[in-house]
Amino acid sequence: MLDKESLRFLQQALEKLDAGFSSLPASPVQSPQSDRIAEVLASTAERLQDNYPYFHPMYAGQMLKPPHPVARSAYALAQWINPNNHALDGGRASSAMEKEAVAEIARMFGWTTHLGHLTSGGTMANLEALWIAGQLAPGKTIIASEQAHYTHGRISAVLQLKFDTVSCDAGARMDIEALQKRVAKGDVGTVVATLGTTATGSVDPLAEILELREKHGFRVHCDAAYGGYFVLAGNLASGTRRAFDSIPRVDSLVIDPHKHGLQPYGCGCVVFLDPAVGHFYKHDSPYTYFSSKDLHLGEISLECSRPGATAVALWATQKLLPLVPGGEFAHGLEQCREAALELHRRVAGDNRFVAVFPPELDIVVFAPRAGSLSESSALTRKLFDAAARHNLHLAVAELPVEFFASAIGDITRDRPRVSSLRSVLMKPEHREWVGTIWKVLDAATTEVFAL
């Protein structure tokens, strides 16, 4: 089930890396307690068996995706060096690789000038963006939609910034009229537009948000942690495409290579359009910035030590799969969206389910039809368990009933939210597997309805 072939390539690359240090005086390689390593690793493997099979297409639940073998191998290769991208002294090659990789991400969004770096994930990346937003508009409020990731409210509290939400439309996108009313109060410093919400993959109307900026002068931060790479997909609906085409005009953006970018965890990315915001990061480090006058990444990031291996893995992945429309990487995203459209089509056409709006990216949400929303929510839990018994792993999300709109018909609305099944079809293989996924879902549903 698991790829082992890449271990051969890793071995070859390790020989090559080793050769680069041949001028050093010999120092015997020490492997303390090597007799016990195999034993401990075997126990480790056994412990790791207690996981859902995130690497397999039948795992179609949360945003979990295996890294590409090249990312995994490059990350592992870098571990023999263990560079630290805080300062050039600690990670010379990997810092250069990070700058190149981030520049390629910025170019993907049409930015030729930028300031950016990798972070430990989307939370840290958004924290840095909101920190800058707060510095530029002290005392003003950060606005996000009710479906924005919870991190924005939390981060604002950490940064002691005022935070407020605006409602969503029936497609789980920021309601532009609600935003218009909110910004008219005159206290808004920054609007967070989510391009790809966590629960449903909905895309906020960025073009319209930017139009409002013209009049009200707030800053726009784009949280594209999950959805950002879809800018490369050639099969988005026109409204979604319009939002993605507007990204070059935002002030800052976040994208997570550890979501759709085929990277191991620990890889987020924040990018600012205006490199001048770098002055907010300015600080002295009397111990580390000594080896070069070139930019040390620690000078433009809040975290100090950061794994150079993350940059190495991302750089290698982008070498193999360049971030260009029409390329293999872009095609993978298109397949994910096709898989989601197909699953949604089947669910929406089956009277045993109520479906929300068609997916904008690759997340499908639905609930079993029942007499009331409480019964439907209880069935969701049962279906989640029944599917898992058949090796199909889905996720559950609590969603406002409004997202189900007309599909809900005469179901009694006895609660404001519906426990819904949620499937993130984020592996390109899902396109091929959607028929099998449907068959298993069908069998599990028959089972649950018969109880």
Ligand X SMILES: Cc1ncc(COP(=O)(O)O)c(C=O)c1O
Given the rule CB under 6 A, which of 29-37, 76-84, 116-124, 341-349 is the region that contacts ligand X?
116-124
Interaction between residue 225 and ligand X (CB under 6 A): yes
Euclidean distance between the first and final Cα of the chain, in Å? 34
From candidates 58, 60, 63, 137, binder to ligand X by CB under 6 A: 63
Interaction between residue 121 and ligand X (CB under 6 A): yes
Q: What tokens were used for 427?
A: 């592996």
For residues 235 and 7, give the distance between their C-alpha atoms in angstroms, rounded to a whole number.
Answer: 35
Interaction between residue 122 and ligand X (CB under 6 A): yes
Interaction between residue 201 and ligand X (CB under 6 A): no
Interaction between residue 445 and ligand X (CB under 6 A): no
Interaction between residue 73 and ligand X (CB under 6 A): no
For 183, counting Cβ atoms within 10 Å of its Cβ (0-12 exposed, 13-18 middle, 19+ buried), the class is buried
Interaction between residue 260 and ligand X (CB under 6 A): no
CB of 6 to ligand X, least distance (A): 25
Q: What tokens were used for 263?
A: 């990277």
Residues binding ligand X: what is the number (CB under 6 A)?
14
Cβ atoms of 335 and 430 closer than 8 Å: yes
From candidates 84, 123, 147, 423, binder to ligand X by CB under 6 A: 123
Residue 171 or 268: the one with the smaller Cβ distance to ligand X is 268
The residue of the chain with the least Cβ separation from ligand X equals: 122
Residue 126 or 335: the one with the smaller Cβ distance to ligand X is 126
Interaction between residue 85 and ligand X (CB under 6 A): no
Q: What tokens were used for 219?
A: 């800053």
Given the rule CB under 6 A, which of 119-127, 318-326, 343-351, 427-435 is the region that contacts ligand X?
119-127
Cβ atoms of 365 and 403 closer than 8 Å: yes
Residue 115 or 424: the one with the smaller Cβ distance to ligand X is 424
Interaction between residue 223 and ligand X (CB under 6 A): yes
Interaction between residue 226 and ligand X (CB under 6 A): yes
Residue 75 or 289: the one with the smaller Cβ distance to ligand X is 75
Q: What tokens were used for 392?
A: 């199909």
For residues 166 and 299, give the distance between their C-alpha atoms in angstroms, rounded to a whole number.
Answer: 35
Contacts of residue 201, defined as CB under 8 A and 6 or more positions apart, other chains included, come to: 226, 227, 340, 359, 360, 361, 362, 363, 424
Residues 179-198 that bind ligand X (CB under 6 A): 194, 198
Helix (H, G, I), strand (E, B) or coil at 33: coil
CB of 194 to ligand X, least distance (A): 5
Given the rule CB under 6 A, which of 221-229, 292-300, 301-309, 435-443 is the region that contacts ligand X?
221-229
Residue 64 or 297: the one with the smaller Cβ distance to ligand X is 64
CA dihedral 381, 382, 385, 390 (to 10 degrees): -140
Residues 352-381 that bind ligand X (CB under 6 A): none
Interaction between residue 317 and ligand X (CB under 6 A): no
For residues 267 and 292, give the distance between their C-alpha atoms in angstroms, rounded to a whole number.
Answer: 26
Interaction between residue 149 and ligand X (CB under 6 A): yes
Interaction between residue 151 and ligand X (CB under 6 A): yes
Given the rule CB under 6 A, which of 222-230, 237-245, 315-323, 383-391 is the region that contacts ligand X?
222-230
For residues 179 and 99, give the distance between their C-alpha atoms in angstroms, rounded to a whole number.
Answer: 36
From candidates 128, 169, 256, 360, binder to ligand X by CB under 6 A: 256
Nearest to 192 by CA among 266, 270, 110: 270
Interaction between residue 229 and ligand X (CB under 6 A): no
CB of 159 to ligand X, least distance (A): 15
For residues 259 and 195, give the distance between their C-alpha atoms in angstroms, rounded to a whole number.
Answer: 14
For residues 31 and 116, give the distance between their C-alpha atoms in angstroms, rounded to a whole number.
Answer: 38
CB of 123 to ligand X, least distance (A): 3
Cα dist from 423 to 340, 347, 367, whole Å: 8, 12, 11
Residue 202 or 377: the one with the smaller Cβ distance to ligand X is 202
For residues 128 and 317, give the distance between their C-alpha atoms in angstroms, rounded to a whole number.
Answer: 25
Cβ atoms of 111 and 245 closer than 8 Å: no
Residue 199 or 379: the one with the smaller Cβ distance to ligand X is 199
Helix (H, G, I), strand (E, B) or coil at 355: strand
Residue type, 44: T
Interaction between residue 208 and ligand X (CB under 6 A): no
Cβ atoms of 313 and 151 closer than 8 Å: no
Given the rule CB under 6 A, which of 75-83, 159-167, 181-189, 219-227 is the region that contacts ligand X?
219-227
Scored b (16 or more CB within 10 A) or e, 249-262 reads bbbbbbbbbbbbbb
CB of 62 to ligand X, least distance (A): 8
What residues line the site for ligand X (CB under 6 A)? Answer: 63, 121-123, 126, 149, 151, 194, 198, 223, 225-226, 256, 268
